[in-house]
Amino acid sequence: MAQHTTEANVAIVTGGGAGIGRAISLHLAEAGHRVIVADLNGAMAEETVALITAAGGQGQAETLDITDEKAVAAMIERVGPLRCLVNNAGIFNVKPFDALEAEDFRRMYEVNVVAMFSLCQCAAAAMGQGGAIVNIASRAMLGSAQYIHYATSKAAVGGFTRSLALELAPKGITVNAVAPGVIETDMLRARSDTNLDALRALQPGGTLGTPDDIAAAVAFLAAPQAGFITGQTLLVDGGRSLGGALGI
């Protein structure tokens, strides 16, 4: 059952219409936030809100293109004072290095980095004193073949998070990131390079992550109990980044 919500507990989740974003929205609603589910696909955002409501929480759907700065500013002004922003929306595609073009990098940065900046700037002003920003990075930031443009954009998320944490610390706003490893979602299953059994074999525990694994980490970093944590990137990847005996 969701905890009592107040206007001071408003949280925005971008890309909240499906997958990891939907799980994050549900977890934040359960923690007592009124969740603004912002997604390019308005129908999917409405579905998430319906799930939140059915569980006893409070939600509101917003159709949003996060690269539209005016629309972002208008939405944040409309929803009022914020407690939390989760920058989950982003793009991804598989493309080997020799096929990449400069435009692939520009588009990836426009969505995964520049739009995140605009959202953070507007949200920080709306938060006033105190709040939490959680950005979704990726374990790919440590290096990954076949999508260098994506890995580079997510490495930028890590640097942005650390720098913004310093900027917003005087306002009592924490800024952290969660870097998922391989998470079993519909998007993963649809990828052209996906072999789930092979991916599981690379995991120390032999299992892939779930959207709830990421959502739980985000909800923790968004909670008052994590108020002394800022500028950090939490790898949530089942230990895959450790390498160890697997040698990878």
- pLDDT in the model for residue 30: 97
pLDDT at 140: 87
What average pLDDT does this structure show over 90-95? 92
213 vs 80: which has the higher pLDDT: 213
Contact 91, 116 (CB under 8 A): no
Confidence band for 47, pLDDT divided at 50, 70 and 90: very high
pLDDT of 3: 47
As a whole number, the mean pLDDT across the chain is: 89
C-alpha Rg value of the chain to the nearest Å? 17
The 10s digit of each residue's pLDDT in 134-150 is: 999 998 898 888 899 99
State mean pLDDT over 95-118.
97
Residue 62's φ and ψ, nearest 5 degrees, are: -135, 125
Decide if 220 contacts 24 (C-beta within 8 A).
no
Residue from 61, 150, 222, 240 carrying the catalytic annotation: 150
The larger pLDDT score, comparing residue 174 to residue 210, is at 174
What angle separates helix 148-168 from helix 102-109, to the nearest 10 degrees? Answer: 30
Does 89 have pLDDT greater than 50? yes
Output phi, psi for 218, to 5 deg. Answer: -65, -45
The pair of structure tokens assigned to 14 is 């971008």
pLDDT band at residue 18 under the 50/70/90 scheme: very high
pLDDT at 209 over 90: no
Pairing between β-strand 233-236 and β-strand 173-180 as defined by DSSP bridges: parallel
pLDDT interval class at 108 (50, 70, 90): very high
Q: Which class does domain 7-233 fall in?
A: alpha beta
pTM of the complete model beyond 0.85: yes
Separation CA 29–CA 52 (nearest Å): 7
Best CA proximity match to 180, nearest among 48, 23, 12: 23
The long-range contacts involving 231-234, CB below 8 angstroms and separated by at least 24 positions, are 231/161, 231/162, 231/165, 231/166, 231/175, 231/176, 232/161, 232/176, 232/177, 233/137, 233/141, 233/158, 233/161, 233/162, 233/176, 233/177, 233/178, 233/179, 234/176, 234/177, 234/178, 234/179
Residue 147 among the catalytic residues: no
pLDDT in tens, 150-192: 999 999 999 999 999 999 999 999 999 999 987 766 666 566 5
DSSP 113: I
Specify the pLDDT at position 185: 66
**Token duo for residue 100:** 């990449």
- pLDDT for the residue 229: 98
| For residue 65, pLDDT beyond 80 | yes
Lowest mean pLDDT, pick from 5-19, 79-93, 103-117, 185-199: 185-199
Taking 70 as the threshold, does the pLDDT of residue 11 lie above it? yes
Q: Which of 69-78, 103-112, 150-159, 207-216 has the lowest mean pLDDT?
A: 207-216
164 in Cβ contact with 236 (< 8 Å): no
